[in-house]
Amino acid sequence: MSSIVVFTLSALGHVHPTLPIVTELVQRGHHVVYYCGEEVRKKIESAGAEFRPVRWDFKPVERARQPRLSAYALEQARCADALLPQLLAEVQALEPACVLVDFMCLWGRLVARTLGLPLVNLSSGFALGPGVLPPRPVLMALDLGPAPMTGGREVLELRRLTRQLAQRYHVEPMQTQFDLLSMDGDDVIVCTAQAFQPHADRFLRHVHFVGPSVASRAEAGVAALPPLDDRPLVYVSLGTVFNQKLDFFRQCLRAFADGRYQVLLSVGESTDPAALGPLPDHMHARTYVPQLEVLQRTAVFISHAGMNSVSEAITQGVPVVAVPQAADQFTIAQRIAALGVGRNLLPFQRNARSLRAAVDALIENAEVQTRCRALGEAFAQAGGPARAARVIEARMTSRAG
């Protein structure tokens, strides 16, 4: 039995795609040791892996009112600086045949490269390369936003600290926060299909587009769905991180006040649904909902355009109105519009009138439905978790040989 070590971030958008792959590897007889935050222990253990905690709290950075990648990258470097000696000793003792590392997980990447272990990179979003993300100056301006001085200091501290890590562990230092988004890997597994990936033909053979890694999830503690009738359901969610947008949720309520559609808003843990005030019978707000179950009933999904959410929607044949909030969501939203499986609303368009017009244009649009089905079929044919497991096993065999 071979051992495989997994490192990823605790954010659900990064954890959820790994779980079907872990389950597949365990079913194939491998021992999977999974390092992550304590808050996702049950999910990981349910997939059959041995859980080991990464004792570092990223919540203050993740849930900041103005999240910055510069702050997150710096916090990752501090985590790596503190925890690497322990992690290196533990992983070396395991003698794993392979290490599976999330594309944003700095400490996992450093462990694999320092110990000279086969590294398989897992991207829960697009493969990153030329033309996929906006130019670096644009990204820097978007990231630093209204706090350029604070962000600038974070970048300088990031350079200083990662230079120390580079000298200690013989790895490359980071010049900017965007170096955190790494495609470094002997193989790269990308959780989307070539049909959805921008410029897919530019990537080399070690980049494997396996399609969405989606599995049914046990939604413990989630209340039952509200009563729904036969009217089309508009589902609204901004994901689990960048969702503190009470004004946006109010715009959604105004957009659909006439009752033509049912509306279900998933507002996240940081927003009290009661803050929206009394709602009419056709509108419902919840802190969290079982998304896969909801999408089976949904006519149009108003989404932050996170990769997992978009993949789950398209797999169910549900068109998307994209309202991206941060990071790669803008690129995903552009791809949704380019492929004709939804609409992309720019920040100045996120008002009641534009939201309603976008949903009206997508409801029962036969051409959009056809394109959603075609992309969903491409997702299904890409191979999924079984193909990802074969890529990992091939890398393990290559090392053994």
Domains and CATH numbers, the chain: 3-211+383-400 (3.40.50.2000), 233-380 (3.40.50.2000)
Give the three-state DSSP class for 75. helix
Residue 115: count of CB within 10 angstroms of its CB? 17
Burial of 311 (C-beta count, 10 Å sphere; 0-12/13-18/19+): buried
Q: Which of 8, 17, 13, 51 lies closest to 32 in space, CA to CA?
A: 51
DSSP structural state of residue 331 = H
Instruction: Give the model confidence (pLDDT) of 334-367 as tens digits.
Output: 999 999 999 999 877 889 999 999 999 999 899 9
The fraction of the chain above a pLDDT of 70, given in percent, is 95
- What's the 3-state SS for 33-68? EEEECHHHHHHHHHCCCEEEECCCCCHHHHCCCCCC
* Rounded Cα gap, residues 24 and 61, in angstroms: 33
Burial of 272 (C-beta count, 10 Å sphere; 0-12/13-18/19+): exposed
- Please report which confidence band the pLDDT of residue 303 belongs to, taking 50, 70 and 90 as the band edges: very high
Q: Are 23 and 48 in contact (CB under 8 A)?
A: yes
Report residue 337 as tokens: 């519009």
Has residue 20 got a pLDDT over 90?
yes
Which position has the token pair 């009112």?
A: 65
Alpha helices (H) along 106-147: 106-115, 136-144
pLDDT at res. 50 = 97
Distances (CA, A) of 400 to 2, 205, 313: 11, 21, 40
> Looking at 276-398, which runs of residues are DSSP E strands?
283-286, 298-303, 320-322, 342-344
* Rounded Cα gap, residues 312 and 317, in angstroms: 9
* Rounded Cα gap, residues 142 and 148, in angstroms: 10
Has residue 222 got a pLDDT over 80?
no
Instruction: Enter the pTM of the model.
Output: 0.90
Report residue 352 as tokens: 């009641």
Instruction: Give the model confidence (pLDDT) of 99-120 as tens digits.
Output: 999 999 999 999 999 999 999 9
pLDDT at res. 321 = 96
